[in-house]
Structure formats: structure tokens, C-alpha cells
A and B are shown apart, each in its own frame.
Chain A
Amino acid sequence: MILDNQCPSGPLADQWDNHRRNLLLINPDNKRKYTVLVVGTGLAGASAAATLAELGYKVEAFCYQDSPRRAHSIAAQGGINAAKNYPNDGDSIYRLFFDTIKGGDFRARESNVYRLAQISNGIIDQCVAQGVPFARDYAGYLQNRSFGGSQVSRTFFARGQTGQQLLLGAYQALSRQIRAGKIRVHTRREMLDLVVVAGRARGITARNLVSGELESYAANAVVLATGGYANVYNLSTNALGSNVTAAWRAYKRGAYFANPCFTQIHPTCIPVSGNLQSKLTLLSESLRNDGRIWVPRNRRDPRSPEQIPEAERDYFLERRYPGYGNLAPRDIASRAVKQICDAGFGVGNGQGVYLDFTDAIQNLGTETIRSRYGNLFDMYLRITGEDAYRRPMRIFPAPHYSMGGLWVDYNLQSTVPGLFVLGEANFSDHGANRLGASALMQGLADGYFILPYTITDYLAGTGPGRNAVTDDAFDQSRTATEECLQQLLAVRGDKTVDEFHRQLGHILWNNVGMARSEESLQRALQQIPPLREEFWNRVRVPGRSDDFNQELEKAGRLADYLEFGELLARDALNRNESCGGHFRVEHQTEDGEALRDDANYNYVAAWEYRGDQTPPRLHKETLRFDSIETAVRSYK
């Protein structure tokens, strides 16, 4: 199969308009005849579900939490980008586009990213109309802050809870449509399979997490907005339930998986403290606006930070990247932190650097700092027991975001006709590294402003037809899913799911983390299959499948991560270059920066499933850069 990305031709600025002009429409009355399943109620899913219902479609939405409002988008702290240029500091659609492409180290599609930048402004308008309480100045105008990888202030924020407020806006829009009878939400449901009939996505198999029952849902199209897979590393900033399961099962039904090795390790997280820790907590990157990152100039300096005089501190980001300083992009900042800690300069248990607010507090006063970051300082205090107003924070990078995901074309459609993928679950816009405050923008662009057009074109082309779960494919899917659950229960071994997840996490973090080499990747590829086998021989999953069984949920998710982790490592091994968050130690400049290989790797790697015993097939979508000249990505 040749991957056709459906990207329009012509001048970038006109592409989306022209493309939309050519998309088919369905008249309002006929939309009622179509049902769409939307799996996921985060920013991408909730915005899509609400908008589709407003247009007149029947929508069934799904989430594994007890309420759609708890999707992990709720945890986003720092903000959302848009090219409004309200501060008059030189921003424009082109600059946001350029920053995003460059931030992604020239591994994203120009057409998609340009459209994203164009749509960004409408998102802010939409959210304000919904009542999202963005920060305002006294006169009532919107405020902006700056984020990593950009020299303009284009980030809109609602204290340290921007994701929460945006999600509540989308959730409220969703609630309004539930009230209107146009959306049914199925909470505590986990999608465990995609049902494909005659080559088209026509439904899903979902498990009712309370009763344990497997349920079939049929529709004219299926939308996945199921979030990212950073939990493959076990410890990450994602919610504990975040999973690759929905995407992985779709992959096994024919959707290609793109760039799985593009994972983002976020620089500002609270360091690991113990072996039984269950997650890592992010401290918003916005802290880097006022905090300064440093380590002692002496290795393993035993003094406490306030005893170390200015001259004996190394502000290594400011030193290495004077142009961006502490606001260097995430991948670069994370790598710099790792390098300095590997060299023995780390603080705390050696895996940490200081993020210091002393100067900011002196210049701006404690109150200003409290108003900007109070909730983050409180969170830091609760978790570590330390007061960051008096003592610098300690931070260390942690797995955070997945740029990779299911392959989609310009219409957000996967390689399975009728299966659309939105938000973090797709691979589309961030290339090899995502800039801060751009995920919220992308999720909402996909859901409010792109999918509603492109899915209509698809539905108009296929006609309403009959949606019934009577096709054999639904029975077969339920039977296969039930078998898988029974197999997990039948092992009755002696190790818990959590123990296996920790082991998988170690393998990936040590070998497929911030620095990767052919040797480490080969090691991961050797270690994962035996761990998977051990899992299927020794895991202990208590209880039954027809009950509320959280261990069974976890076991199913981990079983998929144990397969997916291998694909991640395989993709990283195939990509014999460094770019963005994918750093192959073999390919670096003299001063340790990522060295891309455009001649050989200027493509999206899309993997096709060919059975459990056969290696996946690699398809390449070559990237074209017509408007931007690819260059060495420098933040000096």
C-alpha cells in the first residue's frame, strides 16, 4: 500500500480553504441517519463529540473513567498556544508554523502544521466564548506567557490549570449535547477491539468495567481520541490508566502505527524517590520562565544549595544556549540535564538539578511568584516536603508525551477507512519533538475544527447504511477479546502486573530513553520478548472477568505495552539518525547536539502489523519541505 497523505497542493496558506471547498457535505436533516463512535473524552474526543452532535450526528462517546471530565487532558498545566500576536511581539501564523516544524526537528508535514497554526486563533475565541477563565489583565485583556522553543509570548493560560479549564469547556459543551439527547456517554468502558466490516471501521468491542460484560457498538465511523502511550515506561507524567490499548488493537486491525520511537521526555519533573513509586509528577515548563536551572561546579558537592556561591554554580542551559537560555526546547533541555547528571554533577541522589527562584523572588517579590506558580509550589511541597520559596526545587526529566501514534492522513483518517484518530493518539503534527503548549492546541484543532469537516466527507461518500451489531465480525471480536481476558486470568502465576510493568519500564528507560544506541536498542529487543513470555507464564491476575476487576484492566493494558514496547525499540533502531527527542548517540555534533540525516530518514515511519509471529512491515511517507528550508536546529 502506498501511503497517500491526501495533503493538498498549492500555496500553504490556501491549502486548508481549498481542501474544504472540495469536501462533500451532508444536509442537516440527513446527518441524523449517521452514528459516530468517539472513543475518548479528553480535549480531542470531547471537542469532536460535542461538535459532531451540534451538527446533527448521533454520537456515542466512551471513556474508561467514571466521568468524561476526568480524561488526562485535565492535568495539563502550562497553557495553549495561538498565533494571536496580542502582545505585538512579532508573532504570526507563519512563525507559529515555523517554530512548530523546527521544534519537531523537521519531521512533521508542512501542510498539517500550517493548518494547525491557522486554526490556533479560532480555538482561543471558542474557548473564551465557552467561559474558559483565561488569565486577564486589569483592563480585561488576555494575557500571554512564553514557553520553551519560542521567542514570542503566545501561550494563553488559566493559572496552572489550563488543561483543566479547556477540558471543562469541552466537557460542558458535551454535557449540553447529552442533555439535548444527541450524545450518549458510556463511562467506565474500555475499548478492547476495533470491528472492521468489509474493510471499513464499523464498530468497537468495549468492556463494561463495572459488570465486566463485553459490549458491541456499531456505527458509520469510529473516532479514536484515546491519548498517549508514555506509560509504556511505567513511570511517567501520565495518568495511571493511560494506555496504548485502543490504538494497539486498531493497529492489529490494520491501522499503521507511525513513529512510535518519537517520545518526549519532559525536563521539569519531580525526581524519582523510591522503587514503589507509581507515577512522576510534572512541574509545568512555565516555571522555566522565572526559574534558573543550575548544578554545582564541583562534582558531588555535599553543600546545600544556599551555601554554594554564585561563582561555583553552573547555569548550564544559559551557558550552552544563550539565545533561549532556560527556555530551550524540551528535548534539548532534558538531554542537557541528563548529560550533566551522567557527568557526576547531579544533586540529591545524583539524578536531579536545581530549578532556582531566588533571583525571581528578589526581582518580582514572593507574591508575584506565588500568583504565577503558587499551585505548583504547593504541589512540590506536598510531594517532597520541601518549600521551594526557600530552597531551589530539584527536577529531573521524565517520560511525558508521545509524538508517535496511529498514522493519519491530512483528513485525520487512518489506513483503515472510517477510522479517524485525533489528539495525542495520532502522530500528526509534532514531528520528533513537541513544543510546550502545542498539544492542547492540536487536540482542540482536531476535534473542533478539522474532524467535523473531514468525517462528513467520508460519511457522505459511504452513505448512512444500517448500523447493526449482527455482522459476524462483532461476534468474532467479542469471542477473541473474551479469550484474551480468560487467558490472563488462567495464568494464576506468582508475580503482580505492577512488578512486570516496573521491569518493562526499566528496560525501556535504560535502553530506549533519552539516549539510544544500536547496542542499547538491540539489548531492549532481546530483553522484551522473554519478559513478555514470562508475563504470560507468571502473572497473577486475581478475580473474574465478569466483575469490577482493576487488576484485569491493568493486565490487559500491560500485555499491549509488552508488545508495543518492542515496536518502539524497533522503530528507534531503524531510525539511524538523531532528531528531536530521538537521540542516537552515534549521531551527534561535537558539542553533543542531535545530528539529523535528511538524505536517508526524511520520512514518517509507518508500521504495518502482519501477525504476532511475523515482523511488522515498514512503510515510508517521505516528507516534503517546500516552504521551509530544513536546517540544523540551533537554539544557541
Chain B
Amino acid sequence: MNLTLHVWRQKGPEDRGRLERYAARNIDPELSFLEMLDQLNGELIREGREPIVFDHDCREGICGACSQVINGEAHGPQAETTVCQLYMRQFQDGDEIYVEPWRARAFPVIKDLVVDRSALDRLIEAGGYISVGTGGVPDANAILVPGEAAETAMDAAECIGCGACVAACPNGSAMLFVAAKIAHLASLPQGRPEASRRVCSMTDAMGREGFGNCSNHYECEAACPKGISVKFIAQLNREYLKTLPKAATSKAP
């Protein structure tokens, strides 16, 4: 198939950037979207032009590196699918495709389609862990975790940290990302002792890192390649309310 691509090119953080038009010819529908870009890059290199820079690594939907907005949708048109798992058979011959980087205040563009997502790491550093050192822990079966709780924790823990939720949110909020970590750890008995401290420090950090507020658009869930549910945001709010003095339970973050 033959396609017309409009790809965001930006030399660096200072450059203003613009969409450039490319013809992608003779594309095998069995290729993945990133392999299609590899093919295009090969042609650009042979023509002496600069290839398009984009983040990727595992190419199997788990490392969370790939990050492209395709035709206005984070990770493109297929539900619960990262760009690297998107195959060209999802497109039609002659399609025009717009390819852009994640756009959010907290994610400055580094080059072309690559953005700086280190703010997400700093959210985890703010408390997205259980404070246990190596060694001196009880036998694994001494901490019982009811099957259902383990399932809920796992539903939340599946987050791959790609940042699509932030890119899809009109406010650039990282609420779903934080909520997933809060819910993962708060659902487990091991994570309970620090639950209040964790929810406070992580939500604080969100503001500091330039993420916006959550105003319940739920675009995040729609964009999430792992289908992480917004019900975890409600869980985060509940955890947060628990931290407030009894009298002041009116406002969640």
C-alpha cells in the first residue's frame, strides 16, 4: 500500500518544529507501524536526509518506550494497543496519517517524536514504592493476599509508564498513572502501612512536575494501551480522603 505521512519534525527543544510530508510507498500490510517508519527512514538515509527520531525498544507493547500520537490519538486508532503493536493492516491504501509526539507541559519535546518523560520517574520517586530493604523479610506465604486483591493489584500494576494517559488528557494530568500505582500498592497488605503518606506525596509531586488537574474527561482510560480503568482514580480519591482530618472531608485533589 501507499500512504502519505505528515510527521512532526523538530531539531531540538528550542526549534519550533513543523509537520513534514512524506510518501511511504510499497508498504507491506504485515509490517508494524514502527517497521513502516524504519522503511521510510531507510529511504531518507539513502537520499542523504535525516531520519525521523522516535523512542522504541521492546516492540512488543511492554517497555512503554514507544509514544506517538497518530491521527490525533495517543498510540493510534486500535484500542489497547501500543504503536509498536499497531499493524499496517489497520490502515487503507492511500491513507493520510499524521504522526506527532506526546504533547503535554510536563513532557518537553527533545527531538522529532521523542519527549522527556522523566517527570513520571520522579512521581514514583516521590513514594511509589514500599519501603523495604533487601533481606529480613518474612516467608512469601506469611503475607496472605486474597486472590481478588492480587487481581486488583495486578490490574493496576500492568501500567507500562508510557505516558499516553497524560498525552490524551486535555489538562495533561498524570492522574491515571499515579492512581494505578496507588491502587496497586494500596490493594496489598504490604502496601497499607504507607498508603496515606504515599498518596499525599505522589499527588503533591504531580503538581510540582507541571501535570494538570483531573477534571474527569476519562480520555486517559480510552488511550491506555493496557486498559487501566479510571475506577482507580476513584480509589485514589478515597485513599486521599482518608488522609484528611475528619472534619475536612469535602475536597479531593
Check A176 for interface membership: any CB of B closer than 8 A: yes
Most chain B CB inside 10 Å of its own CB: which residue of A66, A277, A499, A550: A66
A543 at the interface (CB under 8 A from B): yes
Which residues in A have their C-beta under 8 angstroms from that of B132?
A: 126, 129-130, 173
Smallest CB gap from B39: residue in A: A276
- Pair A75/B140 contact, Cβ less than 8 Å: no
Interface of B is mostly: loop
Does A74 sit within 8 A of B, measured CB to CB? yes
Q: Is the CB of A65 within 8 A of B57?
A: yes
Most buried by A among B57, B143, B145: B57
Taking A66-B118, A496-B42 as contacts, is the C-beta distance between A276 and B34 under 8 angstroms? no
B146 contacts A133, C-beta separation under 8 Å:
no
A136 touches B146 (CB 8 A): yes
CB of A172 within 8 A of CB of B124, answer yes
Q: Does A50 touch B at the CB level, under 8 Å?
A: yes
User: Please, which residues of chain A bring their CB within 8 A of the CB of B141?
Assistant: 86, 141-142
Given contacts A54-B134, A67-B118, A241-B57, contact A139 B144 (CB under 8 A): yes
Known A-B contacts A67-B120, A67-B161, A278-B35; A138 and B125 likewise in contact (beta carbons under 8 Å): no
Known contacts A66-B118, A382-B85; is-contact A140 B59 (Cβ 8 Å): no
* Pairwise interchain contact B190-A128, C-beta atoms closer than 8 A: yes
A142–chain B nearest beta-carbon distance, Å: 6
Cross-chain contact of A125 among B58, B139, B157 (Cβ < 8 A): B139
Query: With an 8 A cutoff between CB atoms, is A16 at the interface?
Result: no
Q: Are A279 and B38 in contact (CB under 8 A)?
A: no
Number of residue pairs across A and B with beta carbons under 8 Å?
223
Q: Does A545 contact B (CB under 8 A)?
A: no
User: Is the Cβ of B32 less than 8 Å from the Cβ of A278?
Assistant: yes
Asked whether, in the complex, the Cβ of B188 is within 8 Å of the Cβ of A67, the reply is no
Contact among A161, A276, A382, A550 with B51 in the assembled complex (CB-CB below 8 Å) = A550
- Chain A 279-297 interface 0/1 with B at a Cβ cutoff of 8 Å (1 = within): 1011000000000000000
What string of 1s and 0s marks CB contacts (under 8 Å) between A446-482 and chain B? Answer: 0011001000000000000000000000000000000
Q: A288 to B87: give the CA distance in the assembly, Å.
A: 27
Give Cα A27 to B150, complex, Å.
39
A133, A179, A448, A548 interface centre (most CB from chain B within 10 Å)? A133
Q: How large is the interface on B (under 10, 10 to 19, 20 to 34, 35 or more residues)?
A: 35 or more
Closest CB of chain B to A88's CB: distance in Å?
12
Q: Which of A420-448 contact B (CB under 8 A)?
A: 448
| Set of chain A residues within 8 Å of B61, measured between Cβ atoms | 379, 382
Chain A, 219-256, CB within 8 A of any chain B CB: 239-241
Docked-complex contact A277 and B35, CB < 8 angstroms: yes
Counting CB contacts under 8 A, is B114 at the interface?
yes
Are the C-beta atoms of B30 and A274 separated by less than 8 Å?
A: yes
- Are A176 and B55 touching (Cβ within 8 A)? no
Q: Which residue of A lies closest to B67 (CB)?
A: A66
CA gap between A133 and B63 in the complex, in Å: 18
- B157's contact among A124, A133, A385, A550, by CB below 8 Å, is which? A133
Which residues of B approach A to under 8 Å, CB–CB?
A: 12, 28, 30-32, 34-35, 38-39, 42, 44-46, 48-51, 53, 55-65, 78, 80-81, 85-87, 89, 110-111, 114, 116-118, 120-121, 124-135, 137-141, 143-150, 153-154, 157-158, 160-161, 184-185, 188, 190-191
